[in-house]
Structure formats: C-alpha cells, structure tokens
Amino acid sequence: MKITAEVLPYEKMRYETAGDYFMKPDGSWVFQVADTGNEASNIMILIHELVEWFLTQQKGITEESITAFDEKFEEERERGLHGEDDEPGDALDAPYRDEHCIATAVERILCGHLGIPWQKYDEDVMSLWSDK
C-alpha cells in the first residue's frame, strides 16, 4: 500500500475542508491537509484524517460515500442549513460519524499532551475559512 501526505494552500483543497483523503486510480491513497501555518496543527489534522480513514476502512465505509456526504453538506451550508462552524462528520446522519468523532478525540489527546488548548487549536483550524 502506498500513502502520500501533502500540505497544500487551503485554496487547493478539493472542497472546503481542513483535511481530505482519496484513492488515486493506481490504488494509492493521498492525504491532503490545508496549511494552517503551524506544523503541529498540520500534523494533528493529518493524524485525524489517518485515524478516520483507517476506521472507515475497517467498517467498509467508502471514501466515495464520505466525499458525497461532505459535498452535499457543504451545498446545504451554502443554503443556510448548517452553521459556519459545523463539521460534516459531526452530523447525526454522517456515514462516518463515529469514526470522525474518534479521530477528533485523538486530536484532543494530542493537543492536551502538547499543552495546546483545544479552543486555540480549533480557532486556528477554523481560521482557514475566515481567511479566504
């Protein structure tokens, strides 16, 4: 198995997200993280994506179903159906909700271990949207 990780400018992400993963036609996986300007934050987002991906793979939840859900969620956000700070993976009907929540818990553990207040980390990640 081949896995590639990339840190990209926010504008280069496939859609409005801090982290993303997808399979290329050759069967390799690409993980992309929107650059927060902070290496520790970028790595914690990457770890979130890796944990979420691993758990969804174990449960048979496809990347296609996750991406379709996320894109629909973002379209609904534009129509005012979701708040600006709402995470697609937190939605009750997200096909990967449990896996997303576990990945977020891992991020919180890392923040605690590194002495980074969760609120500060979350604000830094959310600033990706406000800076556009």
pLDDT in tens, 94-118: 999 999 999 999 999 999 999 999 9
What is the reported pTM?
A: 0.91
Number of domains the chain contains? 1
- Residue 33 Cα distances to 44, 79, 92, angstroms: 10, 26, 24
Would you say residue 100 lies in a domain? yes
Would you say residue 16 lies in a domain? no
Would you say residue 92 lies in a domain? yes
Would you say residue 94 lies in a domain? yes
Would you say residue 74 lies in a domain? yes
Would you say residue 79 lies in a domain? yes
Would you say residue 53 lies in a domain? yes
Give the largest CA-CA distance in the chain.
40
- Residues 58-98 have pLDDT tens digits of 999 999 999 999 999 989 988 999 988 788 999 999 999 99
pLDDT tops 80 at residue 131: no
User: Could you list the residue range(s) of the whole structural domain that residue 106 is in?
Assistant: 39-130
Would you say residue 7 lies in a domain? no
Return the bridge partners of 45, or none.
none
